Amino acid sequence: MDDRPDNFAEPAEIPTPDMRAPSKDSLRASGQVQSLSRALRLLNALAWHPQGVTLSQVAQKVGLPTSTAHRLLTTLQNERYVRFDNERSVWLVGVQAFRVGSAFARGRDLASLARPFMRRLVEQCGETVNLAIPDHHEIMYLAQVECQKVMRAITGPGGRSAFHASAAGKAILAAMPDGERTRFLSSADLKRETARTITTLADLKKELAATQARGYAVDDEENAVGLRCVAAVIFDEHAAPLAALSVSGPAARITDSRMSSLGLAVAGVAQEITAELGGRKPSRR
């Protein structure tokens, strides 16, 4: 069944992940209900196309006959998880899907969700891992998983650092939209914390550009003498910086040769947490 009028021009193909329905054997082996699995795949496919897609497009993307896809979409429509735009003859995500997603957003606990990832990063790097969030003109540490070494960085939950002098703060600044970052920096107090602290706006802008290029931020004894840190951003569902994940330790262990590997490691785990939260990186990055 095709719900398009004869003169309807189908939109150009838009790349999306492979959402084709699994085989009956794989469904049977995993104990999944086939119709439910197919309906959820249709809903997931629509989520990638906020402008809407035709029946034939979405059926093709999930590997279903158009008649089957139409029957499942109609069922989802009855429960308001999807809707049909009669004027354009396209299917879109419905209001009930938004309500379910909003319930997840209200109920998620960032620290609890991130902690297993933080523990894994500690095991991988052997250094203390921190989770920080922006709070006015400072960052506040929300959670920490300590390494077991005698010399280690300890800034417990509730501790604060300046944006410009910390890796977590610089990671968040670098991820802000240009206009928001400009407004923030226009009133920032670039106070000197150590001899290495960046205290001029021009130098800070250069460092933020370098942070964007690397994919992680660096604190080279800028917040505390003898302490080095790397950090990367966790994004929310609007592609805005929600928090930062950081690895910190003494400069004697976090040497120049380790900075790159630690930075890539923390960036990778931050991306995993972003996905677990239902967040996404901005397309311009």
- Region 106-117 average pLDDT: 81
140-145 CB contacts, 8 Å cutoff, 24+ apart: 142/110, 142/111, 142/243, 143/111, 143/114, 143/115, 143/118, 145/115, 145/118, 145/119, 145/121
Q: Which of 41-50, 114-123, 210-219 has the lowest mean pLDDT?
A: 41-50
Going by C-alpha positions, the residue among 275, 273, 271, 252 that lies closest to residue 127 is 252
Domain that holds residue 251: 108-277
Q: What are phi and psi of 10, to 5 degrees?
A: -70, 135
Q: Are residues 164 and 269 located together in one domain of the fold?
A: yes
Q: Are residues 153 and 227 located together in one domain of the fold?
A: yes
Residue 166 CB partners (closer than 8 Å, separation 6+): 132, 139, 219, 222, 223, 229, 231, 246
- Region 88-100 average pLDDT: 89
At 142-169, the pLDDT tens digits run 888 988 765 555 566 667 889 999 999 9
Domain boundary among 58, 81, 104: 104
Question: Does residue 181 or residue 102 have the better pLDDT?
Answer: 181
- The domain that contains 228 carries what CATH number? 3.30.450.40
Residue 99: both structure tokens together: 């309500």
105-112 CB contacts, 8 Å cutoff, 24+ apart: 105/237, 105/278, 108/277, 110/142, 110/234, 110/242, 110/243, 110/277, 111/142, 111/143
Across all residues in the chain, what is the average pLDDT? 84
Predicted confidence at residue 187, as pLDDT, reads 85
Domain boundary among 104, 125, 141: 104
Q: Is the pTM of this model over 0.85?
A: no
CB 158 within 8 A of CB 128: no
Q: How many CB atoms lie within 10 A of CB 167?
A: 31
At 211-264, the pLDDT tens digits run 999 999 999 999 999 999 999 999 998 899 999 999 999 998 999 989 999 999
Q: Which of 2-11, 75-84, 222-231 has the lowest mean pLDDT?
A: 2-11
Q: Are residues 199 and 269 located together in one domain of the fold?
A: yes
- Distance (Å, whole) CA 193 – CA 174: 20
Q: Are residues 259 and 190 located together in one domain of the fold?
A: yes
Tell whether 284 is covered by a domain. Answer: no
Predicted confidence at residue 208, as pLDDT, reads 95
Question: Structural domain tally of the chain?
Answer: 2
130 three-class SS:
strand
pLDDT higher than 60, residue 107: no
The winner for highest mean pLDDT among 7-16, 63-72, 140-149, 159-168 is 63-72
Question: Does residue 42 or residue 11 have the better pLDDT?
Answer: 42
Residue 269 CB partners (closer than 8 Å, separation 6+): 117, 118, 120, 121, 232, 245
Predicted confidence at residue 51, as pLDDT, reads 87
The band of 42, judged by pLDDT with boundaries at 50, 70 and 90, is: very high
Query: Cα torsion for 219, 223, 224, 227, to the nearest 10°?
Result: -20
Predicted confidence at residue 278, as pLDDT, reads 86
